[in-house]
Amino acid sequence: MQGFYISNLHNKMHKLAFFEKWLREYKLTERDGISLRLFYNENHKSIIELKDNFAANIGVFIYKNKWNRDALCLFLEDLNNGFDLIELLQNTHGQFCLLLYYKNEFHLITDKVGTIPIFAYVKNNIVEISNIWLPLAKNNAVSLNYQWMAHYISHIASSNNSCYDKTLASEISILNYASIYSIGKKLTSKKYYDFKKDLIFSRYDDLEDIVNVAQKIISDNFAFLKNTNGITCNITGGFDTRTNLAVLLHNNIQFSSGIELPIGHNSLLTKGKYSDLVISKKIAEHFNLNFDIYTEKKTKTDEIKQKKYSDLNYLLFETRYISTRMDYLFDAAKKHKIMITGIFGSEIVNQCFHELQGYRDFDANLFVRQSYSYIDIIKNKYISGREYHDKQAAMLNNILADSSYQKTEDIATYLSYFAFYRTDFSRAFGAYNCAIPTYSPYLEADFVKFSMEVPFKLKGRHSIQRIIII
């Protein structure tokens, strides 16, 4: 499944242009007055119905080393056999959003670290949820979020790590991670897992041990791929995808490879002997891998198609990362069942938030004013620079509220994930999963937690990945 739209108003007409135009709809019987529209692409239909119950997911849902449709079947069987839902969820992994109707109750479940953003409009007894925020805005009365506008403009203009955990519409929020949401007249939730509970910053102090743990975690998490065909692995020439490649090869997992060459980046990716394209081709040739190049087409028809995708994505996902890639992903979905990517590897395995090194004691108010520029293009009419920075600092303080650390620099990965990936980078990953199930070993809960426990000083110059690749 690549898309869904949920509403507790079953008689309401909804505008779902993106879903209806680019995906196929799975006809599902209405449950208890809840309107549920499910959409899928090509053969990626991870939806099952078992008697009066059903389960569906977007992304990659892994259970008992099976994934998506096969995993959903096993999961529902265990539920029917009397196992507790929370206990079963603690034994899942992957990057997913799970929709579950069981014993006349409807649940939406986010993965353990919330890798795919799920958006919700909750107001005046109206509950509507989707993996794309724009239909929610079109189908409900919303207002502009000036803090988000200021963040996005400042982030684009300055290329810093500024972040904001809301959306362009003030009334649309992002659902929490590792949560079971129950949908009715109201939206209620409870946590089923919290990896922060026993998180210890700087737990590790030996690079050899760190490399061994990292390689084992990635290998164990790749185990679900051993009996899977139709795997494509992104190769960009960077350390993240090359690490994936090394572990897949070490575990004798069969796969093909490919690279995306988005419009606007060709000079960086294709020119020169050290370009991503040249390096990726050499890697594929060395290991005798099938190698696909997903790039812009040259015909007038395809140029028009490309522009439609580009404009569409800019609106759908509020992010620049994915604005020219959707047509390549839809092409990949025709040939493959799952895409392995290195997304967010560098940000979580290596040193990030270098500006934290200058702080003996972290002060969020000082940090945002020194590190997060405010581009005042609306002349303080809607939000002042002071208000902008105060809200950014409040968000960081909230993220760090339950954490205990000694060295400020060692919270860099923690902040990188919760204040950057969850609020910004995740939208690109969500977009990938609107075309093809996409999996990154760096976004598994156990690997995220492990990375947060590695000291900042041992993460320099891709040291962990270099050793794994060799």
Quickly tell me which residue has 């898309």 as its tokens: 3
**Dist. CA 420–CA 443, nearest whole Å:** 13
pLDDT in tens, 46-93: 999 887 889 999 999 999 999 999 999 999 999 999 999 999 999 999
In terms of Cα–Cα distance, which of 348, 388, 317 is closest to 158?
Answer: 388
Residues with Cβ < 8 Å from 180, sequence gap 6 or more?
Answer: 85, 86, 89, 107, 108, 109, 189, 190, 191, 192
Calculate the CA 192 to chain-centre distance. Answer: 19
pLDDT at 103: 86
Predicted TM-score of the model (pTM): 0.91
Q: Is-contact 458 201, C-beta < 8 A?
A: no
pLDDT at 266: 53
3-state secondary structure of 228: coil
Least confident of 158-162, 249-253, 416-420: 158-162
pLDDT at 165: 78
**Dist. CA 297–CA 302, nearest whole Å:** 6
3-state secondary structure of 383: coil
- Is residue 409 very low, low, confident or very high in pLDDT (cuts 50, 70, 90)? confident
Return the structure tokens found at 430.
């969500």
The reply to whether domains 3-191 and 207-347+422-469 share a CATH topology is no
**Dist. CA 70–CA 92, nearest whole Å:** 13
**Class at the top of the CATH hierarchy for domain 207-347+422-469:** alpha beta
Single-letter residue type at 399: I
Calculate the CA 351 to chain-centre distance. Answer: 20
pLDDT in tens, 197-228: 889 998 999 999 999 999 999 999 999 999 89
pLDDT in tens, 19-55: 887 789 998 766 777 888 999 987 888 999 887 889 9
CATH second-level architecture of 3-191? Answer: 4-Layer Sandwich (3.60)
**Dist. CA 115–CA 438, nearest whole Å:** 11
Quickly tell me which residue has 């990716």 as its tokens: 269
Residue 263: pLDDT above 60? no
Return the structure tokens found at 412.
């860099």
Q: Is-contact 39 1, C-beta < 8 A?
A: yes
User: How many CB atoms within 10 Å of residue 145?
Assistant: 20
pLDDT at 82: 93
Residue 322: pLDDT above 50? no
Residue 373: pLDDT above 70? yes
Q: What is the largest CA-CA distance in the chain?
A: 61
**Dist. CA 4–CA 40, nearest whole Å:** 9
pLDDT at 131: 93
Domains in the chain: boundaries: 3-191, 207-347+422-469
Mean pLDDT value of segment 287-301: 70
**Dist. CA 23–CA 17, nearest whole Å:** 10
SS3 content of the chain, % helix, strand, coil (to 5): 45, 20, 35
pLDDT at 162: 62
pLDDT at 199: 92
User: How many CB atoms within 10 Å of residue 384?
Assistant: 14
Quickly tell me which residue has 């990938």 as its tokens: 432
In terms of Cα–Cα distance, which of 437, 333, 429 is closest to 118?
Answer: 429
pLDDT at 127: 94
Residue 251: pLDDT above 70? yes
- Is residue 326 very low, low, confident or very high in pLDDT (cuts 50, 70, 90)? low
**Dist. CA 4–CA 57, nearest whole Å:** 9
pLDDT in tens, 133-189: 889 998 999 998 888 888 877 777 776 666 777 888 999 999 999 999 998 888 999
**Dist. CA 426–CA 443, nearest whole Å:** 10
Residue 361 or residue 126, greater confidence: 126
pLDDT at 310: 47
Exposed, middle or buried, 126 (CB in 10 Å: 0-12/13-18/19+)?
middle
In terms of Cα–Cα distance, which of 82, 47, 49, 76 is closest to 63?
Answer: 76
